[in-house]
């Protein structure tokens, strides 16, 4: 039964027989379902039931979705003769285009010593009244960061966001602006903040927007956080881009080396990968270290340079910072 808040639909029941020569036989009650017209942002899911109709044991090895908006869940992996199971498909409709859409899952399973394939698919015609941009987020961070989500409502009477809540303390959100744009859409801006104390590693979270609209009670935005270890000593700017006009010397750039715990920074040495890069370093000003980077255009090849400078830090902790350097001259 479709769980997508749309009218019940009729589905064709199609038998899918495995092509394997083994003793198992994977048979679906249906391998295609049509959800009809679905409004973007509403939940869309379907369970595809199946059974092992043969005398052998079948092991499902892989479920491969046709896009990142689709997730699939399997009740278990191994099915003995006569045992039944189900694959549930859940679609994030917020990230899909309007009109006809098809979502498919390829099932790889082992029947004895044979590997076989099967597939199921779900179709729907999406109507967009509400859009969320981005509809899914992947955030790379080494400290606290913030991003913006825009909710657009094309209806004359728009929804209001009552609350924005992350699935854990790693994610905080609040509505910052509400207005009507030049395209006559009602806009709601939501600022999403990733906590600075979020543990290192990959975290799968969900931002839920609760609204006053009886149809769109909840809008969910999947958020993947990739938290990288914060470096003790950093360079500002992280990379250097230089350029010069005809007959002019290439200007230099100052890079400051800072310690996040406000300890004195001492630069031990600096080296460049390209002999055209001219570098010098010193301690200061204050607690920082200073690296001066320029380029000798007479030693450049083909009027362009793409290289790097490596800064060896002695204090407060031994460390090497790599600064990408690019230069173009006319």
Residue 149, judged by CB atoms within 10 A of its CB (0-12, 13-18, 19+), counts as buried
Q: If one looks up domain 26-127 in CATH, what number appears?
A: 2.60.40.10
Average pLDDT, integer, range 152-173: 94
Average pLDDT, integer, range 222-251: 85
Q: What does the pLDDT look like over 8-46, one tens digit per residue?
A: 333 332 333 333 344 457 899 999 999 999 999 998 999
By the 8 A CB rule, do 132 and 43 touch?
no
The pLDDT value given to residue 202: 93
The pLDDT value given to residue 101: 96
Query: What percent of the chain has a predicted confidence (pLDDT) above 70?
Result: 92
Mean pLDDT of the chain: 87
The pLDDT value given to residue 99: 95
Does the structure show a pLDDT above 90 at 47? yes
The pLDDT value given to residue 13: 29
Q: What CATH superfamily is the domain 130-227?
A: Immunoglobulins (2.60.40.10)
Q: If one looks up domain 233-329 in CATH, what number appears?
A: 2.60.40.10
- The three state secondary structure string of 256-306 is EEEECCCCCCEEEEEEECCCCEEEEEEECCCCCEEEEEEECHHHCECCEEE
The pLDDT value given to residue 24: 54
Domain boundaries, the chain: 26-127, 130-227, 233-329
Does the structure show a pLDDT above 80 at 212? yes
The pLDDT value given to residue 7: 34
26-127 and 233-329: identical CATH topology? yes
């Amino acid at each position: 039964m479709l769980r997508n808040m749309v009218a019940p639909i009729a589905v064709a029941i199609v038998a899918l027989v495995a092509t394997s020569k083994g003793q198992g036989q994977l048979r679906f009650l249906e391998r295609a379902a049509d959800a009809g017209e679905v409004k973007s942002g509403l939940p869309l899911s379907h369970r595809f039931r199946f059974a092992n109709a043969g005398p052998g044991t079948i092991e499902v090895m892989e479920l491969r979705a046709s896009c990142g908006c689709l997730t699939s869940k399997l009740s278990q992996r191994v099915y003995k003769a006569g045992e039944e199971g189900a694959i549930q498909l859940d679609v994030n409709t917020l990230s899909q285009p309007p009109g006809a859409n098809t979502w498919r899952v390829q099932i790889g399973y082992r029947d004895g010593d044979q590997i076989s394939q099967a597939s199921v698919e779900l179709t729907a015609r999406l109507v967009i009244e509400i859009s969320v941009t981005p509809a899914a987020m992947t955030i790379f961070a080494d400290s606290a960061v913030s991003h913006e989500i825009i909710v657009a409502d094309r209806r004359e009477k728009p929804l209001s966001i009552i609350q924005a809540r992350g699935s854990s303390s790693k994610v905080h959100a609040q509505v910052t602006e509400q207005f009507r744009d030049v395209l006559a859409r009602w806009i709601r801006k939501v600022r999403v903040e990733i906590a600075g104390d979020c543990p290192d590693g990959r975290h799968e979270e969900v931002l839920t927007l609760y609204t006053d609209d009886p149809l769109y009670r909840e809008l969910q935005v999947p958020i993947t956080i990739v938290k990288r270890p914060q470096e003790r000593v950093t360079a500002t700017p992280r990379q250097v881009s230089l350029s010069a006009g005809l007959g002019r010397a290439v200007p230099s750039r100052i890079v400051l080396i800072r310690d996040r715990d406000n300890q004195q920074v001492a630069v031990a040495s600096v080296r460049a990968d390209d002999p055209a890069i001219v570098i010098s370093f010193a301690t200061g000003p204050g607690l920082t270290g200073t690296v001066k980077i320029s380029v000798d255009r007479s030693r450049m090849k083909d009027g362009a340079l793409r290289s790097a400078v490596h800064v060896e830090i002695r204090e407060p902790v031994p460390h090497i910072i790599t600064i990408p350097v690019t230069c173009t001259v006319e």
